[in-house]
Amino acid sequence: VSVSLIGAGPGDPGLFTMRGAELLGRAEVVIYDRLIGHELLDLAPPGAELINVGKSPGTSRPQAEINAQLVEHGRAGRRVVRLKGGDPFVFGRGGEEAEALRNAGVDYEVVPGVSSAFAAPAAAGIPVTHRGMATSVTVVTGHVGDQSAPGGVDWYSLGRAGGTLVILMGMSERARIASELIGSGRDAGTPVAVVHWGTTPHQQVVRSTLGGLASVELPAPSAIVVGPVAALDLGPAPASGGAGSS
């Protein structure tokens, strides 16, 4: 296999898979996104060619150019690692890259990663499903241009469906998302948690409600969790040794 589409996980290098590390350790070319931690890039051999393809608004290379690069290096028979944040097939456009490679007849494999959709809530102590509270979880993008276009998000149905919503790339549209969900019948008091850079030393968590989401100020990358579980905090117990501990 010449091209490996590898999920880098949510940010903590300890959450990278062993399979990913093994392939990265013998890569000749590494094509990576902006948010990939440098600890992971250090796993590549010293002579490997490291190519940053951005993936930040305004500066990112067009997807077609990334696809063409993968095909070109793959055809040349080089051991190519395409390192993508989280899981490559969850809002990562990994599917398009796999299609491009398949259409070009280049061998590839997909190595799943721990998605921020589940890891960021977990790092904030939030189980996305919980007995008696949530029997389903829906992962949705908050970043779609034209809501009426095919593939746009039907917030009204999502709001009515209940269960936990995890919204990625939703911070710039949070006011509109909150009002659509409230308009569909979700209570304005529904708990909400916003997790910024979950699993990393930069992690910040802000708890609010659907009615208060518009005034939560955290930059990307952040995941928005909506539903009763967002009020839970089942993170590690406080260290023992304080007053009252045994």
Residues that bind ligand SAM (CB under 6 A): 10-11, 85-87, 90-92, 115-117, 120, 168-169, 195, 197-200, 220-223
Nearer to ligand SAM, 113 or 159 (CB): 113
Cis? peptide before 150, omega within 30° of 0? no
- Annotation marks residue 55 as catalytic: yes
- Annotation marks residue 33 as catalytic: yes
DSSP H or E stretch at residue 180: helix 174-183
Nearer to ligand SAM, 76 or 234 (CB): 234
Q: In whole angstroms, what is the distance from residue 41 CA to residue 18 CA?
A: 14
CB of 119 vs ligand SAM, minimal distance in Å: 7
CB of 200 vs ligand SAM, minimal distance in Å: 6
Nearer to ligand SAM, 3 or 223 (CB): 223
Catalytic residue, from 12, 33, 87, 171: name it: 33
Q: In what order do the strands lie in the sheet with 191-196?
A: 137-141, 164-168, 222-226, 191-196, 204-209
Residue 22: other Cβ atoms inside 10 A: 12
Nearer to ligand SAM, 41 or 75 (CB): 41
- Annotation marks residue 42 as catalytic: no
Whether residue 197 contacts residue 220, with contact meaning beta carbons closer than 8 Å, is answered with no
Catalytic residue, from 12, 18, 55, 171: name it: 55
- What letter represents residue 165's amino acid? L
54: Cβ contacts below 8 Å, ≥ 6 apart:
33, 34, 60, 61
CB of 150 vs ligand SAM, minimal distance in Å: 20
CB of 76 vs ligand SAM, minimal distance in Å: 27
**Which residue's beta carbon is nearest to the bound ligand SAM?**
86
3-state secondary structure of 40: helix
Active site residues: 33, 55, 169
